[in-house]
Structure 1
Amino acid sequence: MLDVQLRRAVSKPLYTMASALDVPWITPDRLTMAGLVIGLSSAALAASQLWALAVVAWLASRVLDGLDGTLARRRLAAASAPRSATASEAGGFLDIVADFVVYGATVLGVAVGATTAFGAPWWPFLVVLFAYYINGAAFLAFSSIAERTGRSLSDDDNRSLFFLGRIAEGGETVFVHTLWLVLPFIAWQIAIVWSIVVLVSAAQRMIVGYRLLR
């Protein structure tokens, strides 16, 4: 819901950072993998109830998640189109897979830490994972079919996939996962509310996607 505004707000800082990192041995894919490793470490830290360190690692992984695409677009603009476009598609695939892994691992890490430290129930976190599964299936299936059928449905942010924007997007996900790590003693209550939001978003994406593809 807030992704467009957030991307506009952080685009200049990210571009400045990407410019500073634009050296031969740093590639977008390496930034993606670094974000994946740091994101997984955040989940492990949460599971160990090291909440402050988990927050730092989580936010660092999200910064890297924004930097990889920014650096890729910067280099794409200065390189030959055919070769760079292929690399960009591969990088986009790696990026979305890494995001799914980190999101799922963070839910699991918070669940382990919260249930161990505060006696939180497991089921709200399981519902969140179920909601993520449905939501991811909806927008990934839509993106794939829209591309295969030649639908001209372009968003304006140059991402590798067309995203059906709904109330639960990347910005909201980053905020909620941060909130879990800052307030782990009420993480399961947050998970209940968040799962409802994500399920509503999934329903919206399924309805809108079906209508657009008819």
Structure 2
Amino acid sequence: MFDARLRPLIDVPLNAIARSLSGTGITPNMITGFGFLLGILAAVCLALTLDYAALALILASRFMDGLDGAVARHAAPRSRHPGAKSQESDLGGYYDIVSDFLFYSGIILAFAIGRPEHALMAAFLIFCFVGTGSSFLAYAIIAAKQGRSDDQSQGKKSFYFLTGITEGSETIFVLCLICVFPAWFDTISAIFGALCLMTTFGRVSQARRDFA
């Protein structure tokens, strides 16, 4: 819901850092991999109930998740495809989205490992994540087939980004919340899970309108 509104604010510092990294040999995929590693470490900390260490690592991981795309747009091309003007690539986009969804669900799984009394609500929240993720990716597949583009609202992306109530920024906020207020996990999961289900329903409805 807030991703498109936050994008202009986030892009300014990310683009400045990306320009400074241009020519250093640091590739977008390296940054994606490093961000994913930070996410794994965050999950380990959460499983050990080191909540504030997990919070710091989550924020660092998501910073890397934003930086990889900025570097891809500013770095000199290293693509095997002729005519490439940057390091943006379909493979990079693939790595990015796979690591994102593994990160989101991994954090919730780690919370349940550290606090098994919350396992049921953790399972519910992961189920809701599957709904938002699958409805998002399935729409993107059909949108690409039909040549649809959302560059104006979301910036240049590897695939179509369908909006919803719960997007990346809201999910990151919730992951941070459970680190700061772990005792509220069940309540946070119930509320956010319901919003995720509403997002899934809205995306399915949008697909019905656009693709029927």
TM-score (norm 2): 0.91
Letter in 1 for 2:3: D
Q: Which consecutive residues of structure 1, in runs of 5 or more, have no partner in the other structure?
A: none
2:78 and 2:29 map into 1 onto residues whose CA distance is 17
Alpha-carbon shift at residue 24 of structure 1 (Å): 3.4
Alpha-carbon shift at residue 20 of structure 1 (Å): 2.3
The corresponding residue for 2:104 is: 103
1:144 and 1:155 map into 2 onto residues whose CA distance is 16
Identity across matched positions, percent: 32
1:142 pairs with 134, 139, 143, which one? 139
Alpha-carbon shift at residue 82 of structure 1 (Å): 3.4
Q: Kindly tell me: are residues 78 and 176 of structure 1, through their superposed partners in 2, closer, same or farther at Cα, counting changes over 3 Å?
A: same
CA contact (8 A) 1:114 1:184 kept: no
1:101 and 1:197 map into 2 onto residues whose CA distance is 20
Question: Is the counterpart of residue 130 in structure 1 residue 131 in structure 2?
Answer: no
The corresponding residue for 1:151 is: 147
Q: Deviations over 1:46-80 (max 9, x none)?
A: 00011111011000000000000011011268998
CA contact (8 A) 2:74 2:87 kept: no
Report SS of the residue matched to 1:49: coil
Report SS of the residue matched to 1:122: helix
1:196 and 1:41 map into 2 onto residues whose CA distance is 28
**Structure 1: which 4+ aligned runs deviate by more than 4 Å?**
76-81, 84-87
The corresponding residue for 2:184 is: 186
1:188 and 1:153 map into 2 onto residues whose CA distance is 37
Question: Is the counterpart of residue 205 in structure 1 residue 203 in structure 2?
Answer: yes
Q: Kindly tell me: are residues 84 and 133 of structure 1, through their superposed partners in 2, closer, same or farther at Cα, counting changes over 3 Å?
A: farther
The corresponding residue for 1:42 is: 42
CA RMSD of aligned residues (A): 2.1
Letter in 2 for 1:57: L
Deviates more, 1:79-88 or 1:182-191: 79-88
CA contact (8 A) 1:111 1:125 kept: yes
Q: Kindly tell me: are residues 76 and 142 of structure 1, through their superposed partners in 2, closer, same or farther at Cα, counting changes over 3 Å?
A: farther
The total of aligned residue pairs comes to 209
Q: Which consecutive residues of structure 2, in runs of 5 or more, have no partner in the other structure?
A: none
The corresponding residue for 1:30 is: 30
CA contact (8 A) 2:38 2:57 kept: yes
1:100 and 1:146 map into 2 onto residues whose CA distance is 20
1:199 and 1:154 map into 2 onto residues whose CA distance is 23
1:192 and 1:81 map into 2 onto residues whose CA distance is 49
The corresponding residue for 2:70 is: 70
CA contact (8 A) 2:164 2:202 kept: yes
Q: Deviations over 1:172-197 (max 9, x none)?
A: 01100011111112112211111101
2:90 and 2:76 map into 1 onto residues whose CA distance is 11
Q: Kindly tell me: are residues 14 and 95 of structure 1, through their superposed partners in 2, closer, same or farther at Cα, counting changes over 3 Å?
A: same
1:59 and 1:86 map into 2 onto residues whose CA distance is 25
Report SS of the residue matched to 2:169: helix
TM-score (norm 1): 0.90
CA contact (8 A) 2:23 2:76 kept: no
CA contact (8 A) 2:150 2:161 kept: no
2:196 and 2:112 map into 1 onto residues whose CA distance is 17
